A and B are shown apart, each in its own frame.
Chain A
Amino acid sequence: MTTKSQSRIAVPAVSGKARFRLSPFTVISLALVALWLIVAAFPFLWTFWGSFKVQSDFFSKVDWQNAIYGVNTIKETGSPFTLAGYYGAWVDEAFWRNVINSGIVVFFTVIISLTIGTLGGYALARSGRRYAFWLLMAALAFRAMPHITLVSGYMLPFFEWNIWGILPTTIIVLVAINQPFTLWMLHSFFLNIPKDMDESAMVDGCTRFQAFRHVIIPVMWPGVITTGLFSFLLAYNDFAVTAMLLSSENETIIPAINSFLGTTQVEGKVMYAVAAVVSATAPLFVLILLFQRQIVSGLTAGAVKG
């Protein structure tokens, strides 16, 4: 798997360099790429830069260039860069607690989704029964629903049973939302693994479950990692569910950022939000860089068979 994708990436890069010519076509395509990069990356870079300024600079009504030079930041703090936003968010507003909450929610959502998804996806991929198809169709239908439909339906029972506002409830709802997707994705990964492998393992002396564990799962790692990543992103980025189902002390990162923004009357809070946004985005970049190969191979594998 690894060697295959390595060579697939390496070969075009080398030959591209060797054949490089500056034709009008390449100029246009390079310009388009550059334009796209600016449009896509600018908000992130702008936010990152601005997170080290004070609000009167970053949201200046007088001159937008204040955000670049930090006139008011120098006036207020004596230096063009300040960590005031980060300090306020992490220390004053205890943003670290939201990070821990997010960590818990994301971790359990991913683990539970993957456990059910691999077992269920394997069973559906190997079952010759007709209802396997209809189960997958039902999963697709649930997948297509807006997340908020599930949440509003859950609200009343959760209040009645007094389980509203706590993390486990949110984890369960996130798993419910995420499960159809993981099931589909892993199902198509399992379909790519020939049935002969399980059967061979079973003749060699495995039970069905041992065949799954010793033979199928080792081959499935790229699929499991990709699916896990997508589950991670869903749980990490979710707003609809976490905002409505969590009490303020149990809030995860995204609703916490939202509540920083919601209190614009008090000066300085918006900068907390900006600093928190940067803090929340950074780990995503690291994650994508670390797992980019799995994501790419996983995406194509899913696309061909999905």
Chain B
Amino acid sequence: MAEVTLKNVGKRWGSFVGVDNFDLTIADKEFLVLLGPSGCGKTTTMRMIAGLENASEGDILIGGKRVNDMEPKDRDVAMVFQSYALYPNMTVYDNIRFPLKVRGVDSSTHDEKVRRASAMVELDDFLHRKPSELSGGQRQRVALARAIVREPNVFLMDEPLSNLDAKLRVSTRAQIKNLSHELAVTTIYVTHDQIEAMTLADRVVVMKNGVVQQIGSPTEIYDNPVNIFVASFIGSPAMNLIDGHVQDGTFRASHVEIPGLSVPDGPLTLGFRAEDSGIAAPGQGQINAPIYTLELLGDATMISVRVGGVLVSVKADKNFRAEIDDMVSISVPQEICHLFDGQTGVRIEGGSPAFHGPDSRCSSPV
């Protein structure tokens, strides 16, 4: 059981900055997700914690001990690789047992530990097989079992679900969530999938180009994105963002007019979520535009309209029906709006009040 602390950790290759000034304390038993597009430095951050990559600057502490100069094996972490990295010459049983064997754990306990780990991921029937005889999902579970068999201080998971098909991803995600609850071990999980981040995390770190954008609970990040990048990365569909101007407290763009904003005049990016808005009586809404497309999702109907040069999505009732090019009126009251500075993209207070937790940290991309 351990707390992981990153103190101003950075990684550079020559002049290229992979991770810049990463500063965070991950509490004992916390499930932390590093989220961002590819190349944002999330995997590098994890590899620095594992010891597979040297930090160029800053300190990494696991359980209060500085581990910068330690070998991976001495850090007492377990890692699940994106490619699973199973040992092809060993059976599933030997794969799971491998960490116990090389660490010289008392061999009389091996069998019990291996069987407990394999039972947790439902692999009991496959213990004698070679990895090449397993499906992708089963291989993934072997990798999980190999990580949990040793009861390490910290789990590291590098996009463990990205090689699975969509259906299996959902069920394995649930399994990981349940496992992490059962094991109660500090877990750091890297993903580019915002749904994984939202469903699994106690806290999410959103990164872009090596720079931390926002740290907070999934709800905080969903409700109060600190800038346009986070707003557009979290949520499905992504938040609608419209560029426009404010004059006398009223936001205007083509087909859009939203009054009641208490922000100074000037350019502004206004965001709102499809699921917060809805269809208004004709002419009563803040957006009035012809329908661009209409998608039936089953539980709802997604309507898109083209306003201010972008497509804006709105979730309507599942029984809503209309034709393309029909005029529609959309209600976007001032309360559901997120306001971002037109130039810097940073969140402006004045829409709904933004939340700042004790660990939240805003740094805007320049």
CA distance A204 to B51 in the complex (A): 12
Is A47 positioned at the interface, with any CB of B under 8 Å from its CB? no
A205 touches B102 (CB 8 A): yes
Interface size on A, residues (CB 8 A): 17
Contact of A203 among B78, B83, B89 (CB under 8 A): B78
Nearest CB of B to A1, in Å: 8
B156 contacts which chain A residues (CB < 8 A)?
203
Which residues of B come within 8 Å of A, CB atoms? 50-52, 71-73, 77-79, 81-83, 85, 87-89, 98-99, 102-103, 146, 150, 156
Between A and B, 23 residue pairs with Cβ closer than 8 Å are: A194-B83, A196-B83, A196-B85, A199-B50, A199-B72, A199-B79, A199-B81, A201-B87, A201-B102, A202-B51, A202-B52, A202-B73, A203-B72, A204-B98, A204-B103, A204-B146, A205-B73, A205-B103, A207-B71, A210-B102, A214-B98, A214-B102, A219-B89
B72 touches A202 (CB 8 A): yes
Contact of A196 among B72, B77, B81, B103 (CB under 8 A): B81
Is A150 positioned at the interface, with any CB of B under 8 Å from its CB? no
Query: Given contacts A203-B51, A203-B79, could you give 17 more A-B pairs where the C-beta distance is less than 8 Å?
Result: A196-B83, A196-B85, A197-B85, A199-B81, A200-B87, A201-B87, A201-B98, A202-B52, A202-B71, A204-B73, A204-B78, A205-B150, A206-B102, A210-B102, A214-B98, A218-B89, A219-B87
A195-228 CB mask vs B (1 if < 8 Å, else 0) is 0110111111111001000110011000000000
Q: What are the nearest 4 A-B pairs in CB distance?
A: A200-B85, A196-B85, A205-B103, A204-B99
CA distance A206 to B77 in the complex (A): 12
Nearest CB of B to A274, in Å: 46
In the complex, the chain A residue whose C-beta lies closest to that of B156 is A203
A199 contacts which chain B residues (CB < 8 A)?
50, 52, 72, 79, 81, 85
Which residues of A come within 8 Å of B, CB atoms? 194, 196-197, 199-207, 210, 214-215, 218-219
A218 contacts which chain B residues (CB < 8 A)?
87, 89
CA distance A197 to B79 in the complex (A): 12
B102 touches A203 (CB 8 A): no
A206 touches B73 (CB 8 A): yes
CA distance A115 to B334 in the complex (A): 73
B77 touches A197 (CB 8 A): no
In the complex, the chain A residue whose C-beta lies closest to that of B82 is A196
B71 contacts which chain A residues (CB < 8 A)?
202, 207
B73 touches A219 (CB 8 A): no
Contact of B87 among A203, A207, A215 (CB under 8 A): A215
Nearest CB of A to B2, in Å: 15
CA distance A201 to B99 in the complex (A): 8
CA distance A210 to B71 in the complex (A): 13
**Known pairs A199-B52, A218-B89, A219-B88; A205 contacts B81 (CB<8 A):** no
B73 contacts which chain A residues (CB < 8 A)?
202-207
In the complex, the chain B residue whose C-beta lies closest to that of A197 is B85
CA distance A20 to B329 in the complex (A): 72
A197 contacts which chain B residues (CB < 8 A)?
85, 87
Pick the most buried of A196, A200, A218: most chain B CB atoms within 10 A of its CB: A200
CA distance A35 to B103 in the complex (A): 61
CA distance A54 to B280 in the complex (A): 111
B52 contacts which chain A residues (CB < 8 A)?
199, 202-203
In the complex, the chain A residue whose C-beta lies closest to that of B83 is A196
Pick the most buried of B50, B89, B156: most chain A CB atoms within 10 A of its CB: B89
CA distance A57 to B82 in the complex (A): 71
CA distance A196 to B131 in the complex (A): 15
Nearest CB of B to A140, in Å: 28
CA distance A200 to B84 in the complex (A): 9
CA distance A210 to B99 in the complex (A): 12
CA distance A254 to B98 in the complex (A): 48
A204 contacts which chain B residues (CB < 8 A)?
73, 78, 98-99, 102-103, 146, 150
B85 contacts which chain A residues (CB < 8 A)?
194, 196-197, 199-200
A200 touches B79 (CB 8 A): yes
In the complex, the chain B residue whose C-beta lies closest to that of A202 is B72
CA distance A219 to B85 in the complex (A): 12
CA distance A298 to B340 in the complex (A): 60
B51 contacts which chain A residues (CB < 8 A)?
202-203
In the complex, the chain B residue whose C-beta lies closest to that of A217 is B89
Nearest CB of B to A8, in Å: 14
A200 touches B81 (CB 8 A): yes
B72 contacts which chain A residues (CB < 8 A)?
199, 202-203
CA distance A11 to B103 in the complex (A): 44
CA distance A204 to B142 in the complex (A): 14
CA distance A90 to B256 in the complex (A): 103
In the complex, the chain A residue whose C-beta lies closest to that of B52 is A199
In the complex, the chain B residue whose C-beta lies closest to that of A194 is B83
B77 contacts which chain A residues (CB < 8 A)?
203
CA distance A214 to B150 in the complex (A): 18
B50 contacts which chain A residues (CB < 8 A)?
199, 203
CA distance A218 to B89 in the complex (A): 7
CA distance A197 to B81 in the complex (A): 9
CA distance A199 to B87 in the complex (A): 12
Nearest CB of A to B66, in Å: 19
CA distance A22 to B88 in the complex (A): 44
B87 touches A205 (CB 8 A): no
Nearest CB of A to B228, in Å: 35
CA distance A218 to B90 in the complex (A): 9
Nearest CB of B to A193, in Å: 9
CA distance A32 to B83 in the complex (A): 47
In the complex, the chain A residue whose C-beta lies closest to that of B78 is A203
CA distance A205 to B151 in the complex (A): 13
A200 contacts which chain B residues (CB < 8 A)?
79, 81, 85, 87
A202 contacts which chain B residues (CB < 8 A)?
51-52, 71-73
